[in-house]
Structure 1
Amino acid sequence: MKQESLRKQARRIGPQIERQWFEARSLKSTILTGITWLVAIGGAIPLFSIIYMLVTQGGERLDFEALVELPPAGFDMGGGFGNAIVGTLVMVAIAAAISVPFGILAAIYLAIIGPYTKIAKTSRFVAKTLTGFPSILAGLFTYIVMVKSFGYSALAGGIALAVLMLPTVLLAAEEAMKQVPVRMTDAAYGMGCTRAQVITKVVLPTGLPGIMTGVMLAVAGAAGESAPLLFTALFSNYYMEELMEPTASLSILIYNFSAMPFDNQIQLAWAASLVLVLIILVFNILARLIGRSKH
């Protein structure tokens, strides 16, 4: 009875809108939607095939020994890539410790202090240009600045990754700060807050989810880099003891072992690839979860 009364009320209000499947706009929308789904499925096939290969090939060799042992040599069996996991995490942590503070401070200037100054416009242009900067050039830059004077090291690798992370952190942080409602900052100024207090008490806490999303995406991208580390950290078959020495990383271990004619090393390369993908996946999931917290 209630549904019938609703139908009668709808008829009184006006004619019901029904989709005409063979009407030009409806047909065009259906065709474009179908093409979009086909393109999406076609693009997902290579991705899922790679994931399937990593799980089947790398999963067989992935165990606790592989996660903690040192890389084997030559015809030796067993071994692992524990030193590469530690080296990767250390260099990414160094890169984050450098790029995140500088990126956020620069974003504060670009978004709040001097958004329309010449230096701000130039900095935005440079940051956007650096987002497409070939990663190998970041390694070459760090090689000239650090490696030629102090040698290959985890610190040099971290600095090279920081060069790549900085533009992503800066642009994401600036955009997050711009999304803070103007009425919130105006209210804070109206209550007598200084600009420093508005930044630290209003802008940064409100924009924190967006800032952290940018940081997580930058970290995920840096974790998978290999070209800069060839010029800066090189590689080592041992666990890192200090920052100023050559250091192993997952990406370089995969590069080295995948070209070897030994089955054990090739299996370890597959397992290391799976671990690296899982690390990047974790950071991407964290970025999505933090991003959703804005809503």
Structure 2
Amino acid sequence: LCRAELASCCDAVQNFVVSQNNTPVGTNMTYEVESKKRIPIGETIFNMLPISQPFVEYPYNQCAVVGNGGILNKSLCGAEIDKSDFVFRCNLPPTTGNISKDVGSKTNLVTVNPSIITGKYGNLKKKKEFLEDIAAYGDAFLLLPAFSYRANTGASFKVYYALKESKARQKVIFFHPEYLKHLALFWRTKGVTAYRLSTGLMITSVAVALCENVKLYGFWPFSKTVEDTPVSHHYYDNKLPKQGFHEMPKEYGQILQLHMKGILKLQFSECETA
């Protein structure tokens, strides 16, 4: 049910990424959140866009959506994640070194929150460090919400140009603001009324549309496991999110329902290792 509903409301296959096909020159694009603000699409922005949706092998058979929850620590899920046909990750998480046995190292698409660009990389003044960090993701797509808020556009474009100038292997793509708007409305009908959906729920929605089988790892919004063991917020730190921005328990309730309906699988425990 949900898969068909998602396709009819939001059509990720055609619309999830801004492309030359869905955004011709002359489009006056409305921002996702600041809906009174617009950005005209001239030749310069148009040339930054892929011609069409870049996911050529759609539908993918087995996809992994790797959240950043502390539940991944000691999970030994890395090998299973790396066997997937397409791996989604959120917000430039670490995947190299010892941690890869728990979280895997394969990445096909990773989201980038512009606040990471402005904060951690000083608005790309630390460009060398940024390029070194993203080298870990091979030839993954870097997905940025350039058109969610006007404040995101500059940082997102900086990432595009930094990669282009350095001839990096990764490609920059942008979330389509209309897609995100429709997606938020869709989840609102299911009771998720937060100011903004979390990246995890956005990417899960995209994965359900692009993949036959979806498995979620590292999605656990609680501070303890089922066995009452404490869990850090992220597998790499314990920095808590801003209050009031996302509705994690409500979102998680929706993801659990998708799990119970068999639309996706949630991995709660250690992975079986051969």
The bucket for the TM-score relative to the shorter chain is: under 0.3
Higher strand proportion (structure 1 or 2): 2
Structure 2 length-normalised TM: 0.22
Higher helix proportion (structure 1 or 2): 1
